[in-house]
Amino acid sequence: MVAWAPSSPSAAKPGQAVRDWKRKRLPVRVHAPDPVTVAQLSLVHERQHVEDVLACRKDNGLYDRSRGVARSLMYTTGSMLSAARHVLRHGGAACAPCSGFHHAGFDFSELYCTFNGLMVTAAVLQQEGLVRKVGIIDCDTHPGNGTDDIIERIGATSWVRHFTAGWEFTREDQVPAFFERLGQEVAAMADCDIVLYQAGADPHINDGGWMTTDEMRLRDALVFEGLHRRGIPVVWNLAGGYQQELDGSIPKVLALHENTARECIRVFGQKG
């Protein structure tokens, strides 16, 4: 498996996850991403919004105007785009170990999401003629309201298929219905050239969510197996996950992300 690790001081989880995988000797090769440009961000965000956030004239998704966060943003989204370019070129799967995308809309940042790296990636690939249709499977526990906003605002409904579980599935008794729907959504991505998968850890029952550890691993298996069977390359990211120990460490979140990585490697092998 390949991982494009972002240079992001705004969150410690990406670095912790990658170090955890390497310590456990998962077959992961880590690459530095190419940063995105203002022009690329502006394909899906209002240009003035982009410039104001980067210049620290407007709050980012963390509700501050940190210059360190501003410097990291081009690389966080760049992680997703770099990984997508790789799988389009080589096939298989890759991980962009980053978070903070799906609540960011056309002209707003919120809930720890500043720019929408999912839609930036989709739009850049489409503009460059590398894809005709992009699928987004969002299995974070929260709905991708920002992704929906951008799809509507830029008129992307014909070439982006977006499934965000958080609008419909919030309770433990909905797990069977979720798995049925997830299988249907994966099948519906058959005409997509690439799928971007938000493999959030926060649907876990101990993170305010509604799925057990085994159910979340089955979720990942259904996505990876379904896409692999159809020959569709996939890039996944970490998305949410907030369980903390008293000392501030996040071993339970890291274990859930490790499960996703292991399922990816099991299905797609070590290609990349």
Q: Give the C-alpha separation, 73 to 90, whole Å.
A: 26
Q: Give the C-alpha separation, 168 to 72, whole Å.
A: 32
> Is 99 within 8 Å of 158 (Cβ atoms)?
no
List, in order of start, the domains of the chain with CATH numbers.
2-268 (3.40.800.20)
Q: Is 195 helix (H, G, I), strand (E, B) or coil?
A: strand
In tens digits, the chain (272 residues) has pLDDT values of 655 444 443 467 888 999 999 999 999 888 989 999 999 999 999 999 999 999 999 999 989 999 988 999 999 999 999 999 999 999 999 999 998 899 999 999 999 999 999 999 999 999 999 999 999 999 999 999 999 999 999 999 999 999 999 999 999 999 999 999 999 999 999 999 999 999 999 999 999 899 999 999 999 999 999 999 999 999 999 998 888 888 888 899 999 999 999 999 999 985 44
Torsion of CA 14, 16, 18, 23, to 10 degrees: 180
Q: Is 196 helix (H, G, I), strand (E, B) or coil?
A: strand
Question: What pLDDT does residue 1 have?
Answer: 60
pTM equals 0.92
CA-nearest of 159, 90, 92 to 119 is 159
